[in-house]
């Protein structure tokens, strides 16, 4: 059923999927147009993110349920993990590169296809917010390294030491062997990619990470690369990734998944195809993890990963759930 018919017949309802207060908010011509090709029922607002980051989706939900927009929701949602020093793959407390520097990658993308990213950012906790300022207050999409850091200070972000005692101690131990051996679902664990749809049906996404632990100095992963670690097309949906970024970049994974949804695949089917493309390029490799999550315009979601152990967090008006992801390699 198309949206206009649905509105005419709105007393029929679709229990559990859409509520009267949400319908009441459908008053913008813009969102009516963007819904013309969308079959109902729909599930808005909604926020999903990689892994079991319940606090992050709860924060996003707080924004969405108060009528806030999806851009604010994803920014504020992932900021929870950036500030959490116990999350050693995002923001403050993140594991350093092999030289002991914590370097952050992040990006954000809005309903209009605007995007901003920071790459190899040091000494600033909220990389995603710097990325948003790049998007909104510069003519650029990406700022890297010292330039990104300088820009952040100009915008009032404060300098912080991101290397916690815990991450420093682990790095010191690692230096004794200096072996680069990412551990599936442990060392690759915890990058947060978030996608949200607000009450007006507008989609935004954000992704933020300290990247692979003990990486080469200067290494950049998929997370700040629009199309790789994150992609949003407000007509279709969004996708985001976690895991070994090099492989996600090689397939431009998130863009691929959104395009597959455009061609008619469900979010689940699109994520499965995304992982399959990666495995097709890595016929003899099984020693790495990647997880994708995706959402389409209706608010349907999907996820897929290489190894068992990945999950995603989802918050809707029905509450919060952590959804285990199916995997290419079976348990």
Catalytic residues: 191
Report the C-alpha gap between 64 and 318 in whole angstroms.
13
223 scored as a contact of ligand SD4 (CB under 6 A): yes
Beta bridge partners of 49: 194, 313
Nearer to ligand SD4, 57 or 316 (CB): 57
In this structure, the strands spanning 115-121 and 142-144 are: parallel
Indicate the residue among 221 and 299 with the shorter CB distance to ligand SD4: 221
Residue 212 touches ligand SD4, criterion: CB under 6 A: yes
The helix (run of H) or strand (run of E) holding residue 313 is: strand 311-316
Give yes or no for residue 97 binding ligand SD4 (CB under 6 A). no
Select 230 or 295, whichever has its Cβ closest to ligand SD4. Answer: 230
Decide if residue 95 touches ligand SD4 (CB under 6 A): no
Which stretches within the chain are classed as H helix?
3-8, 20-24, 29-34, 54-65, 70-83, 127-137, 145-154, 165-175, 245-251, 253-262, 267-281
Ramachandran category for residue 178: left, alpha or beta (phi over 0 → left; psi -120 to 50 → alpha): left
Beta carbons of 269 and 259 less than 8 angstroms apart: no
Measured from the CB atom, the residue of 129 and 209 that comes closer to ligand SD4 is 209
Q: How far is CA 78 from CA 44, 177, 192, in A?
A: 19, 33, 7
Of the candidate residues 93, 245, 302, 309, the single one contacting ligand SD4 (CB under 6 A)? 245
Contact with ligand SD4 (CB under 6 A): which of 87, 88, 89, 303?
A: 89
Q: CA 214 to CA 102: how far, in whole Å?
A: 9
Q: Interface with ligand SD4 includes 122 (CB under 6 A)? A: no
221 binds ligand SD4 (CB under 6 A): yes
Tell me how far the alpha carbon of residue 277 is from its chain's centroid.
20
- Minimum distance between the CB of residue 31 and ligand SD4, rounded to whole angstroms? 32
Other CB atoms within 10 A of residue 179 CB: 7
Binding-site member from 205, 243, 267, 299 for ligand SD4 (CB under 6 A): 243
Q: How far is the CB of 250 from ligand SD4 (least distance, A)?
A: 12
Q: How many residues does the chain have?
A: 331
Q: Residue 211, interface with ligand SD4 (CB under 6 A)?
A: yes
Of the pair 22, 144, the CB lying nearest ligand SD4 is at: 144
Q: Is 190 near ligand SD4 (CB under 6 A)? A: yes
- Number of residues interacting with ligand SD4: please give it, by CB under 6 A: 15
Residues forming contacts to ligand SD4 in the complex (CB under 6 A) are 89, 188-191, 209, 211-212, 221-223, 242-245
């Amino acid at each position: 059923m198309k949206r206009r018919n649905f509105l005419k017949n709105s007393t029929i309802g679709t229990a559990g999927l859409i509520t009267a207060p949400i319908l009441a908010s459908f008053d913008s011509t813009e969102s009516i147009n963007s819904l013309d090709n969308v079959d109902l029922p729909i599930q808005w607002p909604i926020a999903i993110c990689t892994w079991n980051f319940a606090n992050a989706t709860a924060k996003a939900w707080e924004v969405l349920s108060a009528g806030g927009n999806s851009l604010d929701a994803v920014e504020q949602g992932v900021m929870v993990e950036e500030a959490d020093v116990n999350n050693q793959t995002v923001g403050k407390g993140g594991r350093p590169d092999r030289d002991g520097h914590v370097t952050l990658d992040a990006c954000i993308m809005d309903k209009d296809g605007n995007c901003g990213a920071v790459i190899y950012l040091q000494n600033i906790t909220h990389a995603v917010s710097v990325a948003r300022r790049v998007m909104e207050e510069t003519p650029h999409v990406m700022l890297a390294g010292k330039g990104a850091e300088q820009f952040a200070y100009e915008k009032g972000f404060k300098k912080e030491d991101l290397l916690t005692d815990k991450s420093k101690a682990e790095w010191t131990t690692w230096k004794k062997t200096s072996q680069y051996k990412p551990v599936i679902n442990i060392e690759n664990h915890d990058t947060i990619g978030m996608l949200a749809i607000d009450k007006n049906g507008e989609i935004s996404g954000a992704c933020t990470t300290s990247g692979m632990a003990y990486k080469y100095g200067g290494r950049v992963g998929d997370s700040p690369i629009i199309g790789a670690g994150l992609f949003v097309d407000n007509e279709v949906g969004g996708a985001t990734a976690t895991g070994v970024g090099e492989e996600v970049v090689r397939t431009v994974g998130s863009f691929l998944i959104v395009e597959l949804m455009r061609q008619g695949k469900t979010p689940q089917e699109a994520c499965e195809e995304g992982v399959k493309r990666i495995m097709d390029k890595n016929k003899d490799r099984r020693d790495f993890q990647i997880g994708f999550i995706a959402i389409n315009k209706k608010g349907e979601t999907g996820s897929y990963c290489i190894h068992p152990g990945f999950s995603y967090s989802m918050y809707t008006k029905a509450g919060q759930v952590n959804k285990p992801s199916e995997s290419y390699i079976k348990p």
